[in-house]
């Protein structure tokens, strides 16, 4: 069995809860589809836990923003969080993030963060047309923060949703499991207040973390 996680975004309590649940499920391998960085304050804690857990890592767009020094072209709020993380992340964790690849394949499943046309920053919607010219039968990507299971024309796709910032109106952390050629979506509750307290201690206003209680984007939008 493979556990699939994505979009942790510095939310350490959410990552702890998901990895605990994956351990309870006796998962053999865990793949992270990227975005350890961004949005919440405990980027070092998340990096250290992932390193110690021997998880296969991919690079997400927020990871790329952090290690490259570039900003997010869509969100000043996201850039405010990245600027904070640049001041606190250790050299060792920055180096570790910088070496992650954008694509991987295990047990016949093709993994990226965004999509297969742009592995880092494509907000893709699965369809028969999309996958027609892409080799393989099993696919998984993150980036949208919305869990999806899709099948068509002999192909299967899974978006595990977000560990650190769910955007589908369900505040529970989301992840997926691949077993016996099938994907499944799983949810687990975590201590949201701990994440909010860490954000307050880091100097962020309520705007940057109140969304966690509703399972939305910053500002309250679903999707």
Residue 113 lies in a domain: no
The predicted structure's pLDDT at residue 78: 93
Residue 148 lies in a domain: no
Give me the mean pLDDT over the 178-204 stretch: 97
The domain of 35 spans 2-102+158-213
The predicted structure's pLDDT at residue 48: 98
* CB neighbour list of residue 162: distance below 8 Å, 6 or more residues apart: 6, 7, 8, 9, 142, 145, 173, 174
The predicted structure's pLDDT at residue 69: 94
Residue 202 lies in a domain: yes
Residue 54 lies in a domain: yes
Letter string b/e over residues 141-179, b meaning 16 or more CB atoms within 10 A of that residue's CB: bbbbbbbbebeeeebbbbbbbbbbbbbbeebbbbbbbbe
Q: What pLDDT band is residue 16 in, cutting at 50, 70 and 90?
A: very high
Bridge partners (DSSP) listed for residue 148: 159
Give me the mean pLDDT over the 190-205 stretch: 98
Q: Which two tokens stand for residue 190?
A: 């975590």
CA–CA separation, 53 vs 41, rounded Å? Answer: 20
Give me the mean pLDDT over the 22-28 stretch: 92
The predicted structure's pLDDT at residue 220: 85
Residue 143 lies in a domain: no
Per-residue CA distances from 70 to 6, 66, 86, 122, 177 (Å): 21, 7, 11, 17, 33
Give me the mean pLDDT over the 42-67 stretch: 97
Per the structure, the count of domains in the chain is 1
Domain of 67: which CATH number? 3.60.21.10
CA–CA separation, 167 vs 142, rounded Å? Answer: 12
Residue 127 lies in a domain: no
Q: Which two tokens stand for residue 40?
A: 């919440």
Q: What pLDDT band is residue 54 in, cutting at 50, 70 and 90?
A: confident
Q: What pLDDT band is residue 199 in, cutting at 50, 70 and 90?
A: very high
Residue 13 lies in a domain: yes
- Identify the residue whose tokens are 């070496």: 99
User: Is pLDDT at 28 greater than 90 in this prediction?
Assistant: no
The predicted structure's pLDDT at residue 223: 84
Contact 44, 38 (CB under 8 A): no
Residue 25 lies in a domain: yes
Please provide residue 178's backbone torsions phi and psi, each rounded to the nearest 5 degrees.
Answer: -110, 125
The predicted structure's pLDDT at residue 26: 86
What is the value of pTM for the model shown? 0.97
């Amino acid at each position: 069995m493979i556990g699939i996680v994505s979009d942790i975004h510095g939310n350490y309590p959410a990552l702890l809860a998901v990895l605990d649940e994956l351990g309870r499920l006796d998962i053999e391998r865990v793949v992270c589809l990227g975005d350890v960085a961004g949005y919440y304050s405990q980027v070092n804690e998340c990096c250290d836990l992932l390193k110690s857990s021997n998880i296969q890592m991919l690079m997400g767009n927020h990871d790329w923003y952090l290690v490259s020094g570039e900003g997010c072209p869509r969100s000043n709020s996201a850039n405010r969080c990245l600027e904070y993380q640049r001041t606190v992340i250790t050299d060792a964790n920055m180096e570790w993030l910088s070496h992650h690849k954008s694509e991987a394949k295990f047990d016949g499943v093709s993994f990226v963060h965004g999509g297969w046309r742009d592995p880092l920053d494509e907000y893709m919607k699965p369809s028969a047309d999309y996958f027609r010219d892409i080799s393989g039968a099993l696919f998984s990507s993150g980036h949208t923060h919305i869990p999806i299971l899709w099948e068509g024309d002999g192909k299967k796709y899974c978006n595990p949703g977000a560990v650190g910032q769910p955007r589908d109106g369900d505040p529970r952390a989301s992840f997926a499991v691949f077993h016996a050629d099938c994907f499944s979506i799983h949810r687990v509750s975590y201590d949201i207040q701990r994440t909010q307290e860490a954000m307050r201690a880091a100097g962020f206003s309520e705007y940057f973390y109140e969304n966690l209680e509703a399972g939305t984007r910053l500002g309250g939008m679903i999707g």
